[in-house]
Amino acid sequence: MRTRFDVGCVIPMNDEGDIFRPGTVVFDETGIQYVGSPEACPAVAERTVAMPQGILLPGLLNGHNHAAMALMRGMADDSPLFEWLSHHVWPLEARLTPDDIYLGTLLASAEMIRSGTVGFADMYFAMDAVAAAVEKTGMRAWLARGLVGNEDPTGEKLAEAVAFCQAWAGKANGRLQTMLGPHAPYTCPPEYLARVAEAAKSHGLGIHIHLSESRDEMDQMATLYQKTPIQLAHDAGIFESRTLIAHGVYITADDLRWLEGIQGGVISCPVSNAKLGNGIMPYPLLKEAGIPVGLGSDGAASTNNLDMFLEMKMMAWVQKLSGHRPDAFRAMDALWAATRGTAQVLGYDGGVLAPGRPSDFIVLDGGRPHLTPEWDVVANVVYAASGADVRYVVVDGRILLDDGLITTFDEEAVAAEARKRQALLAKR
C-alpha cells in the first residue's frame, strides 16, 4: 500500500545535507517513492498520515547487539568485564533454551522498535530462534551465530554457523542477512580464527567479531601472541571478508596498517564501554584513516538500555571529553554514525531517505516540551530527544509502530512472559 507522511521536518541524511520544512515522504513496500517538499509531491497515496510537529528521519541502526540478553538486564551490574562474563553471564547462558532466546529477542525488539531502531546486527547462539523472532517483528537484522573456538575443537559449531547462514540469508523479504561470528581473540585462538576466515571467504559471508574492547584483552593478546587483537585478526585472514569490528576501543595508530582497505568498519558501543570501564574508541584516528564508524548498544546485560538516542548522546559526550573540545564530535556526526555510518559498515544501502532506497524511517513527536523551541533540529534529535519520542516506525514499507502502538506482536504478553521466565532462570 502506498502511504504518505506529511510532517513538519524531514531529515533525509543525504549527501547534499537537505532538510525539508515542511516535508513529505511517500513510500510502499518496494521502497521510497518521494522525499521533499509537500507542494512538489506528485504521488497519490492510499493512506496519508499528517503530523505537523513530526520530525521524520532514517530509522536508526544498532550495529552491535546480543538481543536475547535483554533477559539479563540489570544482572551483576558494576562488575569488571571478565568477571562479569565468566562468573555471571556465561553460567546463565549455559541454562538458556531456544525458547528463552526467542522470547528475549522479542523483548529486545519491542524496546528497539519503540525507540526508533529499524535494524540490528546480532551475535548469539540458537540463532534459528533469533531469526524466527526477527521475522515475526518485521525488523531488519544481520545475524551471526557466536563462535567460541575453545569449545569447538572439531569445527562442528562452525559448520552449524555456515548452515544457519545459508538457511536464513535473504529470508523475510530480504530483511534477514547472515554473518559468521567468532566471539573474540581471547575465546578463539589464531588457528580457529583462520578457519572462520576461510569459511567466510568460501561462502561469501561477512564477519562480526569483538576486537580491542578492553585493556585486559590487549594485555592477554600481547602476552600470548605478542600482537594486538587487530593484528591477530588480520594475520588470520579475518579482514579479507567484510568485517564488523565491535568496540575497537584500543585500536592504535600502529593498527591502521592492518586495517588498510578493510571492507566494513568499527561499531562503537559508548554506553557499554563506559559502564564496563573499558574506555573510548579513538574516533579521530579512524576518521582520518577513512575507516567507517557506526554505532551500537551491545546487549542489555551490559548497557541496560537499547535506546540508540542514548548511544548517540554518549558517543558525542565522550568524544568531546576525549578531544577536550565541544566541536570534536558534532550532533550530525552522531546521527550519521547511527544511520549511514552503521549502514556503511554493514554494506547496506539504507540509512538515507531517497527514491529507490529502502522504506525504513521513523517519526518523532517534535512538539514535546523538551524539543521546543527548535533552533537546530539535528541538535534537538541528538541531544534532547529520546526513544520515548518515537511515534512511527516503518521498515520495508510496513508500519511497525503506528502512533505509538506496535503492530506485529503483543508486547505486553512478551513482557509478562519475560517476568515469568526470569524467575525460572534464577532457579535452574
Q: 3-59+352-396 and 60-346 share one CATH topology? A: no
Question: How, if at all, do strands 176-182 and 293-295 pair?
Answer: unpaired
Q: Cell match 549527501: residue?
A: 15
Spatial contact of 401 and 409, defined as CB atoms under 8 Å apart: no
Set of cell numbers at residue 61: 541502526
Q: Which residues contact 412 (CB under 8 A, 6 or more apart)?
A: none
Alpha-carbon distance of 8 to 50, in angstroms, equals: 9
Spatial contact of 128 and 164, defined as CB atoms under 8 Å apart: yes
The stretches in the chain having pLDDT less than 50 are none
Cα separations in angstroms, 342 against 59, 382, 397: 11, 16, 20
Alpha-carbon distance of 214 to 362, in angstroms, equals: 34
Alpha-carbon distance of 148 to 281, in angstroms, equals: 24
Set of cell numbers at residue 139: 525488523
Cα-Cα end-to-end distance for the chain = 47
Q: What is the pLDDT of residues 186-217, one digit of tens each?
A: 999 999 999 999 999 999 999 999 999 999 99
Angle CA(31)–CA(34)–CA(40) in degrees, nearest 5? Answer: 170
pLDDT of residue 363: 98
Which CATH fold topology does 3-59+352-396 show? Urease, subunit C; domain 1 (2.30.40)
Instruction: Write down the mean pLDDT value for the chain.
Output: 96
Q: Does domain 60-346 have CATH number 3.20.20.140?
A: yes
Q: Where are the domains of the chain?
A: 3-59+352-396, 60-346
Q: Residue 265 — left, alpha, or beta (φ > 0 → left; ψ -120 to 50 → alpha)? A: left
pLDDT of residue 428: 56
Beta bridge partners of 9: 55
At residue 302, what is the residue type? Answer: S
Set of cell numbers at residue 354: 531517497
Q: Cell match 541531544: residue?
A: 383
Provide the edge-to-edge strand list for the sheet that holds 47-58: 31-36, 23-28, 3-10, 47-58, 361-365, 390-395, 398-402, 405-406
pLDDT of residue 302: 87
Burial 172-206 (b: 16+ CB within 10 A, else e): beebbbbbbbbbbbbbbbbebbebbbebbeeeebb
Q: What is the pLDDT of residues 327-385, one digit of tens each?
A: 999 999 999 999 999 999 999 999 999 999 999 999 999 999 999 999 999 999 999 99
Burial 90-115 (b: 16+ CB within 10 A, else e): eebbeebeeebbbbbbbbbbbbbbbb
